[in-house]
Every structure is written in C-alpha cells, then in structure tokens.
Amino acid sequence: MSGEALKLGVLRLGTRRSLMATTQSGQVADRLTALTGHTVELVGVTTFGDVTKTQLAQLGGTGVFVSALRDKLIAGDIDFAVHSLKDLPTKPDPRVVVAAIPPRDDPRDALVGPAGLADLPPGARVGTGSPRRVAQLRLLRPDLDYVPIRGNADTRIGKVTSGELSAVVLAAAGLGRIGRQAEISQLFDVDEMLPAPGQGALAVECRADDAALVELLAVLDDPRTRAAVTAERALLATLEGGCHAPVGAYAADDGHILNLTATVVAIDGARSVRKSTAGDPSAAMELGRDLAAAMIAEGAGTLMGERTH
C-alpha cells in the first residue's frame, strides 16, 4: 500500500465470500473506518477450502482458507485481509504480518439441536467436521454417532432441521456473527470442551513491508486477546498439530496473569492429556511452548500420532 493510497483513504480488504467471512470482515471494516476515517472496500476471494469437497481434516485443516488471500495480498490486489485466526497456519510467513487481533468473541463450541448433549438419545447422529470436537465429545457421550460434515453454517444447521442429523456442533462466535445464536441448545463450557487454539478471534493481516498500513491497522489490536492466542498457537506449533489434530487450548488474560489450559485427546476419546499453567502475559509464547513440552512428556505426542486420515 503506497503512502498516496493511504492518504486517499480507500483500503481494499480481502475476504472469503461466505456469509460468515463477509460479515466478520465487514465488522472489521466498519471499526477501522470509525477509528481512522478510511473507507474500506470488501474484495471477495474464493479459496481452495471453499471449493474442495474433501473433508478439511484430510487436507490438514489450516491454510486451505488462507493461501489464496495471501496470494492476492502479495500480488497487491488487496491491501489487507481478515482471517479466522484458527485457520492460520502456525508457521510464520515472512511476507506478511498479523497487524491486529481485535477483541475476541465467544471462544466456546456450541450445540445446535432440539436438546442439550446429555438429553440426546443413545445413537443420535451429531455432525462436526472437527476431530478435536469428536474426540472431546466422545469423552462426554461415547454412545453417540459422530458424523463428519462440511459446508457453511446454514448448510450444517439445515441437516438438523431436515432430520438428517440430531444435532451439529459449531463455533459460538460464528453463529453470533451471522445472527443464529438463538438456535444454540447448549454452549460447552471450556471445562467440558476446550476450543481450537485461536477460536473466536480474528487476524488482520497485511504485507510485512507496508509499515504505514501496519501502523494504521494496529488501532484494531487488543493486547489481551493477542497474548491469549499467542500462547495457544505457540502450544499448537510445539505439538506440531493443526486442525486435523485433536488439540484444544484456551488462554485468558485478566490483565495481570495469563491462564492457559490445553488438552490432547485420542480420537476415540479413550485417553487424554490435559494440563494447565499460568504466567506473565508478556511471556505468552514461552508459556505455550513450555506447557506443550510438559504435555509431550506425559504422552501427548503418542496421542498426536493417532490422527484421522
């Protein structure tokens, strides 16, 4: 982004074309305009994750929604992009920088169905595309039938209303962003089901060499959210996992202490390693790495090898 373009005040924000993505990108655009006065234009981008029919767990999960947006960014077709943070690969790309992580929305997982999980009859079919969710759900209800599903939130919820599935599990934050929170029958407390690292948070990304835009976008950054997700993603990177690995993690920064809890669960739900730690938010990355190392020492590495393909 050139200095002249910044002066003109028109910024091109790349976003996936789904309702969820355009809604969350629109919220970021509105906030940036309110804080800086810059006009933001949404530019729709179709990613590989949007067009493939393959289950995301088989593709490795992370990156399939990101690479096309990054390509547009590097080519100069867009000025910045908004991603769901849990979709970002943990391996850094030196060409880009996460200039802002806005305040996090609800990080929890949500059940959409006629009743809570405990009230579903044995053998009920519950849909989710996440091995992490399946593994933890099996700890709670091993007697249910967990079915892999894909598609946007409307498509997934439609499988419940049509009777194809008894319930589906989705991210609470996403349902809230598209106005479907009234259909939630149960919110899973993080003590019951740990979310994906970064779940509920957004990443605002731009080119690393665009110092003026990096500075401008920083007005959107929330330090507490950044510390929390930094710890979660450092843990994930150390475990060498991704969305296809049954890893849950959640950190909360109260302004003084960062509390981090994580779990790795065998996909059959039979065994798990769960640990917690706490420390200074300024050492978030070290906190995540150290907790991952402690989990590996207790056998998490073995469970990480038991992935679905």
Hey, what are 184's tokens?
Answer: 């939630």
CA-to-CA dists, residue 309 to 63, 164, 223, 260, angstroms: 17, 24, 37, 29
- Rounded (10°) CA dihedral 39, 222, 262, 177: -40
Residue partners of 79: CB distance under 8 A and separation at least 6: 1, 5, 11, 12, 13, 73, 206, 210, 213
| CA 93 to centroid of chain Cα atoms | 18
CA Rg, the chain, in Å?
A: 19
* Catalytic choice (133, 138, 207, 226): 133
Annotation says 143 is catalytic: no
Annotation says 95 is catalytic: no
Annotation says 138 is catalytic: no
* Catalytic choice (86, 159, 207, 226): 86
Q: Which of 105, 145, 154, 153 has the alpha carbon at shortest distance from 127?
A: 145
Residue partners of 158: CB distance under 8 A and separation at least 6: none
* Catalytic choice (87, 109, 210, 290): 87
* Catalytic choice (125, 156, 159, 233): 156
Annotation says 243 is catalytic: yes
Overall size of the chain counted in residues: 309
Annotation says 150 is catalytic: yes
Annotation says 156 is catalytic: yes
Annotation says 86 is catalytic: yes
Return the biggest CA–CA distance within the chain.
63
Count helices and strands (H / E) in the chain: 12, 13
* Catalytic choice (125, 233, 243, 253): 243
* Catalytic choice (150, 180, 224, 271): 150
* Catalytic choice (132, 138, 207, 226): 132
Quick one: DSSP state of residue 2? Answer: -
Q: How many whole angstroms separate alpha carbon 168 and alpha carbon 181?
A: 13
Active site members: 86-87, 132-133, 150, 156, 243
